[in-house]
């Protein structure tokens, strides 16, 4: 969902030279623009005598040194646990994980060769397995820095965003003559969000223990090779929350169907097979209390509303997709989830029973 490269931030020549001087990469052989991720965060691919690397200048708003330090300590912890991610490269003299220059924050990573998600069942299941590995590796993690707390569940920020959406979109051509429909849609989503949050509370999640979680587990943050995850990127959303919030988000992100710039063409339903595959992979590496299964569909509804409301309230769109149409699509998908909740819970319980089978039961 990127617009033209002319809008992408770029490094200056002297900026590159000064920042690169802080790292011991050997002889530089090649530097090219690495056009991935946020347009506000320039990146460069660097080929040197000591390997291949990616230099990143953090985007404004994501460059606070304390928050970056939290993310870096988290990534180094995962690296020590042999979790698949691009390893941070320390600076030459002080072995710092970041460089500060002109109030900008920079980080250097070892380059990982990989392919994007292909939507196959095999890659979906491995994404779930890798999330299970992540949660297991972070179960005992305690940071030297105070991590963000909370997330998309029962968030006042999400509710405020929904209230602000009509003002943000009122002058858009897609809304002219449909102002009443926009108000009705946002009000419906507000009430659906509150109802889903209440469902989560009724299931008891607010009493479950917290831990550090990734916070943004979706296909765009995975690199694959031979249908296995070789790197998980983007730890900027890491926070303290019940790990099941990460799991619900992953199930949603890997089972949602759509993708074109016309949200009216997106189907109402989700891919049930991919949802089951993701959960199956997760259960291979992380334990799951079957009594907590009921919370998943409610969390999925909360996260799809949160993921759409926040950017639309801020910029009026979801990537390149106009906001009003996207919100109508979200409403359709939530209605579908509500209508098929029993079927999805049955699928989740079937996956749980299959994973829990003993060898003797398997033989029969």
Q: Once rounded to an integer, what is the mean pLDDT over residues 229-236?
A: 95
Domain ranges (residues) in the chain: 9-110, 121-356
In whole angstroms, give the CA distance from residue 90 to residue 87.
Answer: 10
Residues in the chain: 364
For residue 357, name the pLDDT band (cuts at 50, 70, 90): low
Give the pLDDT mean for 55-81: 94
**How far is Cα 136 from Cα 314, in angstroms, rounded to an integer?**
35
Tell me how far apart the alpha carbons of residues 347 and 271 are, in angstroms, rounded to a whole number.
12
The end-to-end CA distance of the chain, in Å, is 49
121-356: CATH topology: Aminoglycoside 3'-phosphotransferase; Chain: A, domain 2 (3.90.1200)
Q: What percent of the chain has pLDDT over 70?
A: 96
Is 195 buried (19+), middle (13-18) or exposed (0-12) by CB count in 10 A?
middle
The pLDDT-based confidence of 266 (bands split at 50, 70, 90) is very high
206 HSE (CA, 13 A, CB side): 9
Was domain 9-110 assigned CATH 3.40.50.150?
no
Residue 224: its H or E element? strand 222-225
pLDDT over 50 at 155, yes or no: yes
Distances (CA, A) of 186 to 51, 146, 176, 192, 231: 50, 34, 16, 10, 37
16 and 46 Cβ atoms separated by less than 8 Å: no
- B/e letters for 265-289, b = 16+ CB within 10 Å, e = fewer, are ebeeebbeebbbbbbbbbbebbebe
């Amino acid at each position: 969902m990127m617009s033209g490269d002319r809008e992408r931030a770029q490094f200056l020549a002297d900026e590159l030279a000064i920042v690169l001087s802080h790292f011991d990469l050997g002889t530089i052989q090649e530097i090219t623009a690495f056009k991935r991720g946020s347009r506000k965060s320039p990146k460069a691919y660097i080929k040197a005598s000591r390997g291949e690397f990616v230099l990143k200048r953090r985007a404004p708003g994501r460059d606070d040194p304390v928050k970056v330090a939290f993310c870096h300590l988290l990534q180094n912890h995962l690296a020590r646990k042999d979790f698949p991610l691009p390893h941070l490269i320390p600076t030459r003299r002080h072995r710092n994980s970041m460089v500060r220059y002109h109030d900008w924050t920079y980080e250097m990573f070892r380059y990982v060769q990989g392919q994007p998600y292909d939507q196959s069942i095999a890659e979906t299941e491995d994404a779930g397995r890798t999330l299970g590995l992540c949660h297991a590796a972070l179960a005992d993690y305690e940071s030297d820095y105070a991590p963000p707390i909370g997330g998309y569940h029962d968030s006042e920020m999400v509710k405020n965003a929904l209230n602000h959406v009509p003002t943000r979109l009122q002058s858009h051509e897609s809304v002219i003559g449909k102002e009443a429909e926009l108000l009705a849609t946002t009000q419906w989503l507000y009430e659906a969000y509150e109802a889903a949050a209440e469902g989560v509370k009724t299931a008891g999640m607010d009493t479950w223990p917290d831990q550090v979680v990734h916070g943004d587990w979706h296909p765009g943050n995975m690199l694959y090779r031979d249908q296995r995850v070789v790197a998980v990127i983007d730890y900027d959303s890491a926070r303290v929350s019940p790990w099941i919030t990460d799991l619900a988000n992953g199930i949603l992100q890997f089972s949602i169907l759509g993708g074109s710039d016309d949200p009216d063409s997106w189907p109402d339903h989700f891919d049930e097979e991919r949802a089951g595959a993701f959960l199956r992979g997760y259960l291979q590496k992380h334990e799951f209390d079957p009594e907590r299964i009921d919370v998943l569909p409610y969390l999925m509804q909360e996260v799809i509303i949160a993921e759409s409301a926040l950017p639309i309230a801020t910029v009026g769109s979801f990537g390149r997709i106009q906001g009003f149409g996207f919100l109508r699509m979200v409403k359709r998908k939530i209605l579908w989830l509500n209508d098929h909740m029993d079927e999805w819970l049955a699928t989740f319980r079937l996956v749980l029973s299959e994973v829990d089978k003993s060898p003797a039961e398997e033989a029969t």
